Structure 1
Amino acid sequence: MSEVEILYLLALQSIEGVGDITAKKLLNHCGTAEEVFKSTPSQLALIDGIGKKTIQNIHNKSAFKEAENELQFIKKEDIKVLFYKDDDYPEKLKHCIDGPLLLFTSGKINLQQKKILSIVGTRQVTSYGIDFCKKFIEDLAPLDPIIVSGFAYGVDIVAHQAAMDNGLQTIGVLAHGLNQIYPKTHKKYMSKMESNGGFMTDFWSTSNPDKENFIKRNRIVAGISEATIVIESADKGGSLVTATMANDYNREVFAVPGRATDRYSQGCNTLIKTQKANLLTNAADLIYNLNWDIAKKEKPIQKQLFVTLEPEEQNLFDFLKTNGKEHIDIIAMESNIPVFKLSSLLLNMELKGVVRPLPGKVFEII
């Protein structure tokens, strides 16, 4: 885009009462941001949902002073600006009704023909969450996905570091402008991040990391990717908000289960229990559910070799091998095992990596 186009789009953004949805409506009607400002009040009044107050604000020239200041910052810091109709704007975000009109990025981000995953979770990540996150990303590395997170404490920074350790692109989605970094202690990761992906935000340099900005930021995390993974979460928190947004965008959501007594597994367990997330025990679960092709990869995910099964487990394995995927009630009836006992056996087999649960209480062998 030219500087003039960016200036008019920034001016459009700065108008009071014009958010991403309204801005897109104006652009769809007028064609360009410049034409929005050149349109007469009577022309703008024809647009559904555009009232007198908004029209008055559009013709208030003060918007351009703020836009000019932001444009100077963008030029000085060599920030890349992505318009929602650009080819290099994240494809999946284009289909989110409230997706950002503009994205500001730094680093070496390349989204073309890439699998994109968002990983979120508690800031109070446990050793269980850390170990799972590192192993999960290591096992996915042959598929070369981009790992997206919020660059916060806890699960976020673990995911970013694990991605970089495995040579993957990683993107930190920020809740403020690119003139600062939050938390400040993570500044030490910036250089490596920008060499292995970078940072993305829809906030101007005048925005601070205020509480409400993190919720707004989460729509990018949820909307940009094919799936959102929640690794650990308490029963309330931003990770669950992101999971809800991902569901609203018709994205896949996965959650890592934990013990019922663990505080930071309660949110994940609830997501699974209420069928708002697929159960995730390893990378193979995600690969299967997303139908990713790993046939030509150098390091495909494999189940554990030489697994020792108890006699009842072996019988269940043989049954599923013969019959394919089956509902738990059918398995119980055909194997003559009570459901309460069968659930325990299947869980043990799942932990051994020989069976996998599917939506609707269906199981199959891996």
Structure 2
Amino acid sequence: MNDEELLHVLALLKVEGVGDIIAKKLLSHFGSATAVFNAKASQMASIDGVGSVLLKKLKDKTIFEKAIQELKFIKENTIDVAFFMDEKYPDRLKHCIDGPVLLFSNGNIDFKNRKIISIVGTRQITSYGTEFCKKLIADLAPLNPIIVSGFAYGVDIVAHQAALEHNLQTIGVLAHGLNQIYPKTHKKYVSKIEENGGFMTEFWSSSNPEKENFVKRNRIVAGISEATIVIESADKGGSLITANIANDYNRDVFAVPGRTSDKYSQGCNNLIKTQKANLLSSAADILYILNWDIEKKVKPVQKQLFVTLDQDEQKVYDYLQKNGKELLDTVALQCDFPIYRISGLLLNMELKGVIRPLPGKLFEAI
């Protein structure tokens, strides 16, 4: 896209009442933003959602003043701009009707032929959530996925750091312009992320991290990836909004289960209970559900060394190790446990990393 067309796209996005959906309609209909501004009223009348009020606002010259200022910022700071019709625009985001018309980024982001997952969760991450997140990314590292998150406190920054530790590309999706970093305490991570990934946003340099921006940001996090993973969440929070958006986009969602008494497991447990997320106990679950190549590209997930099993857990583990994949009901019958008891045992064993669930209520020893 040349500078003149970019200027007109920026100006179009500054027209009051023109959001991403209407902007895409206009651009698709006329072929370019320059043509939109040169179009006659009669040509505009046939487009759904474009009325006489919007036509008047397209004539507002102040929108070009703002666009010129932003174009100057883009040029002076060598910001990369991806237009929603460009090849370099994230492929999965192209299929989201409300995806941004423009994405601004810096760093060394490369989406080509890559597996992409988003990891989100509470800003009040617990030691359990931290360890799970780190191990998950370590186990997925042989597949070289891109790790996307929101660069916030808690789960976000743990995911970014874990990705960097394993030389994985990681992308921070921001709720403000690229002229600032929020939270400021995370500035120390910026250079490393830009070396192996980068930052992305739809917001202009004049945009601050306002509350509503974070909700808009979440649709990029959900839309850009193959799956969204919720590590920990209370019963309300931004990560649940991201999970719901991912469901609306028909993307896979995973949630890490926890004790019902734990505040920051309530959101994940509810997602699983309402069938809005797959239960995530290990990296193997992601590989299976997403149909990633397990045999050729990643080492089998090993059970943890020196895991302590109680007598009942050991009985179940020995049975699964001997018999392979088995139905929950069969395990209960053969091990002589009631269903409610076997369900609790299997969940504890999943969390210890010695068994894994499979579709159809099947379980197997790792």
TM-score band by shorter chain is over 0.9
Q: Which residue of structure 2 lines up, in the alignment, with residue 314 of structure 1?
A: 318
Q: Which residue of structure 2 lines up, in the alignment, with residue 143 of structure 1?
A: 143
Which sits farther off after the overlay, 59-68 or 82-91?
A: 59-68
C-alpha displacement at 1:351, in angstroms? Answer: 3.9
Tell me if the contact between 1:325 and 1:365 (Cα under 8 Å) persists in the aligned partners.
no
Q: Which residue of structure 2 lines up, in the alignment, with residue 19 of structure 1?
A: 19
Q: Which residue of structure 2 lines up, in the alignment, with residue 38 of structure 1?
A: 38
Which sits farther off after the overlay, 230-239 or 301-310?
A: 301-310
Question: Residue 302 of structure 2 aligns to a residue in which SS?
Answer: coil
Q: Distance in 2 between matches of 1:42 and 1:223?
A: 35
Whether 2:217 is the aligned partner of 1:223: answer no
Q: Distance in 2 between matches of 1:351 and 1:203?
A: 39
How many residues are aligned here?
362
Q: Distance in 2 between matches of 1:299 and 1:360?
A: 24
Whether 2:157 is the aligned partner of 1:153: answer no
Q: Which residue of structure 2 lines up, in the alignment, with residue 260 of structure 1?
A: 260
Q: Which residue of structure 1 lines up, in the alignment, with residue 211 of structure 2?
A: 211
Q: Distance in 1 between matches of 2:350 and 2:150?
A: 31
Tell me if the contact between 1:228 and 1:252 (Cα under 8 Å) persists in the aligned partners.
yes
Q: How do residues 167-316 of structure 1 correspond to structure 2 at under 5 angstroms?
A: 167-297=167-297, 299-304=299-304, 310-316=314-320
Q: Distance in 1 between matches of 2:290 and 2:50?
A: 41
C-alpha displacement at 1:61, in angstroms? Answer: 2.5
Q: Which residue of structure 2 lines up, in the alignment, with residue 129 of structure 1?
A: 129
Q: Distance in 1 between matches of 2:208 and 2:257?
A: 34
Q: Which residue of structure 1 lines up, in the alignment, with residue 113 of structure 2?
A: 113
C-alpha displacement at 1:62, in angstroms? Answer: 2.2
C-alpha displacement at 1:283, in angstroms? Answer: 1.2
Tell me: CA distance 1:201–1:209, structure 2 relative to 1, closer, same or farther (3 Å).
Answer: same
Question: Residue 148 of structure 2 aligns to a residue in which SS?
Answer: strand
Question: Residue 63 of structure 2 aligns to a residue in which SS?
Answer: helix
Q: Distance in 2 between matches of 1:333 and 1:296?
A: 36
Tell me: CA distance 1:49–1:360, structure 2 relative to 1, closer, same or farther (3 Å).
Answer: farther
Query: Which amino acid in structure 2 is aligned with residue 202 of structure 1?
Result: E
The C-alpha deviation readout for 1:257-301, integer Å capped at 9, x for no partner, is 111111111111111111111111111121111111133336453
The C-alpha deviation readout for 1:220-244, integer Å capped at 9, x for no partner, is 0000001111111111110110011
Tell me: CA distance 1:201–1:187, structure 2 relative to 1, closer, same or farther (3 Å).
Answer: same
Q: Distance in 2 between matches of 1:334 and 1:132?
A: 31
Tell me if the contact between 1:147 and 1:160 (Cα under 8 Å) persists in the aligned partners.
yes
Q: Distance in 2 between matches of 1:94 and 1:176?
A: 21
C-alpha displacement at 1:85, in angstroms? Answer: 0.8
Q: Which residue of structure 1 lines up, in the alignment, with residue 85 of structure 2?
A: 85
C-alpha displacement at 1:121, in angstroms? Answer: 0.8
Which sits farther off after the overlay, 349-358 or 228-237?
A: 349-358
Q: Distance in 2 between matches of 1:260 and 1:116?
A: 30
Tell me: CA distance 1:293–1:306, structure 2 relative to 1, closer, same or farther (3 Å).
Answer: farther
Tell me: CA distance 1:331–1:294, structure 2 relative to 1, closer, same or farther (3 Å).
Answer: closer
Query: Which amino acid in structure 1 is aligned with residue 197 of structure 2?
Result: G
Q: Distance in 2 between matches of 1:134 and 1:305?
A: 17
Q: Distance in 1 between matches of 2:306 and 2:189?
A: 41
The C-alpha deviation readout for 1:74-123, integer Å capped at 9, x for no partner, is 00000000001111100000000100000000000011111111011111
Tell me if the contact between 2:122 and 2:234 (Cα under 8 Å) persists in the aligned partners.
yes
Structure 2: any 5+ residue segments left out of the alignment?
Answer: none
Q: Distance in 2 between matches of 1:290 and 1:260?
A: 27
Q: How do residues 89-108 of structure 1 correspond to structure 2 at under 5 angstroms?
A: 89-108=89-108
Q: Which residue of structure 1 lines up, in the alignment, with residue 64 of structure 2?
A: 64
Question: Residue 67 of structure 2 aligns to a residue in which SS?
Answer: helix
Question: Residue 310 of structure 1 aligns to a residue in which SS?
Answer: helix
Question: Residue 117 of structure 1 aligns to a residue in which SS?
Answer: strand
Question: Residue 167 of structure 2 aligns to a residue in which SS?
Answer: coil
Query: Which amino acid in structure 1 is aligned with residue 145 of structure 2?
Result: P
Question: Residue 17 of structure 1 aligns to a residue in which SS?
Answer: coil
Q: Which residue of structure 1 lines up, in the alignment, with residue 48 of structure 2?
A: 48
Q: Distance in 1 between matches of 2:85 and 2:205?
A: 23
Query: Which amino acid in structure 2 is aligned with residue 68 of structure 1?
Result: I
C-alpha displacement at 1:136, in angstroms? Answer: 1.1
Tell me: CA distance 1:312–1:46, structure 2 relative to 1, closer, same or farther (3 Å).
Answer: closer
Q: Distance in 1 between matches of 2:132 and 2:21?
A: 38
Output the aligned Cα RMSD. 2.0
Tell me if the contact between 2:316 and 2:335 (Cα under 8 Å) persists in the aligned partners.
no
The C-alpha deviation readout for 1:160-192, integer Å capped at 9, x for no partner, is 111111101110000000011111111111111
Q: How do residues 344-363 of structure 1 correspond to structure 2 at under 5 angstroms?
A: 344-359=344-359, 361-363=361-363
Q: Distance in 1 between matches of 2:266 and 2:352?
A: 23
Query: Which amino acid in structure 2 is aligned with residue 311 of structure 1?
Result: K
Give the share of equivalent positions with the same residue, in percent: 66
Q: Distance in 1 between matches of 2:111 and 2:316?
A: 47
